[in-house]
A = this chain, B = another copy of it.
Amino acid sequence: MYKIVQTTGGVCASDGFYADGISAGLKKDGALDMAFIYSENECEVASTFTTNKMYAAPIKHFRAKGDFKTNFILINSKNANAMTGQAGFEDIDEVLSNLENVTNPIMSSTGVIGVRLPKEKIINGLKKFDTTKKEPGNASKAIMTTDAFSKEIALNVTLDDGSSFNIGAMAKGAGMINPAMATMLCFITTDADVSKAEMQEILDEVIKTTFNAISVDGDTSTNDTVLLLSNAKSGAYEAEAFKEALFKVMHFLALEMVRDGEGATKLVTYKITGAKDDREAEIVAKKLSDSLLVKTALYGEDPNWGRIASTVGASGVEAYEEKLKISFDNLCVYNRGELLFDAEMEKKCAVIMGHKKFTISCDLGVGEGSFKAYGCDLGYEYVKINADYRT
């Protein structure tokens, strides 16, 4: 049996990977705003991008490359290079043409939509890059926009035969709400000896229950990107172990993003069971985690199970009043037609909802479908932040 343990080094944990963050003057006060990830060896790349039809120039640029290997990713914050048309696409070519000794470099951006890239600053910034550096903490800080904290993780996987590989990653989340930026970016590096096709297949599967299971503000940005790079340096690989480790990495970062939602005070798991199928369970889970009415009830620590029942009913999936069961953690508040809620139960619920983490379970009693989604509450603070946006 393989063994997975946490390690240090973020995106530099894997053999042969380097990263750093620098200040190019895009953010104020000399804050870090540009990062790179570099690999000694050329890497296979697996990827997932936003489903938004207005996907940004960096995503167009990546897709235009076709099949390729790379050893370099350039990332900037403060400007999304989205809605910038052909000019925005050409800006990437121009920026990347200033890089030397790299193969098929990728550019990734996050920030304001509809403004051309500050090319000069970015090109000047490139001169500060030192590809012998392993400073993953700087890189993860440089890609932040409204994130309150940087997000990184690394795991080491030892296989039965004693061989081992690493997976490291960094991510930036969507502020719970921000009129300008709500992009998620995630960069994962590994020295596992995995083929491109298999890596893509595993990424596609793992993303469903990690980044695609979280909701921060229910919107899909123009720039959402997950890139997974493998340089195969370890020579080690085992599919099950790789998949589990990748899940752990992505699940951790996904929950960190929810936890970091602007003004969020609670991380809530929506556990749906008994749906007609997994797809219907997913629809319910996401409807709940996106619902303004549920989110504010969570913030008010109001055990309003009626609002949860109503949201299940509004989701459009097969559901019946007399088959539905609703629980807060292990406390069942409505059981298939039975009104259980009373003053004493309200007190118990209030204790559960006072926690920073809890689970709302809905069993639909219809079939075998299940899904887990993760969301946060919608707090006073985030409107405050946005009310003050222009001042």
Contact = CB atoms under 8 A, between A and B. Distances in A.
Contacts of A82: 306, 309-310
B390 A113 contact: no
Interface residues of A, number: 69
A265 to B, nearest CB: 11
Contacts of A114: 305-306, 309, 334, 339, 341
Query: How many copies of this chain are found per oligomer?
Result: 2
Contacts of A217: 292-293
Contacts of A301: 390
Interface stretch (A19-27, A49-57, A148-156, A367-375): A49-57
Given A84-B339, A321-B85, A390-B301, A177 B293 contact: yes
Given A55-B313, A313-B54, A296 B179 contact: yes
Given A53-B317, A113-B307, A220-B314, 5 more contacts: A80-B306, A84-B339, A85-B322, A179-B296, A292-B292
A171 B297 CA distance: 25
A319 interface: yes
Interface of A: 51-55, 80, 82-86, 112-116, 177-180, 182, 217-222, 291-293, 296-297, 299-302, 304-307, 309-314, 316-322, 324, 334, 337, 339, 341, 378-380, 382-384, 386-390
A300 B390 contact: yes
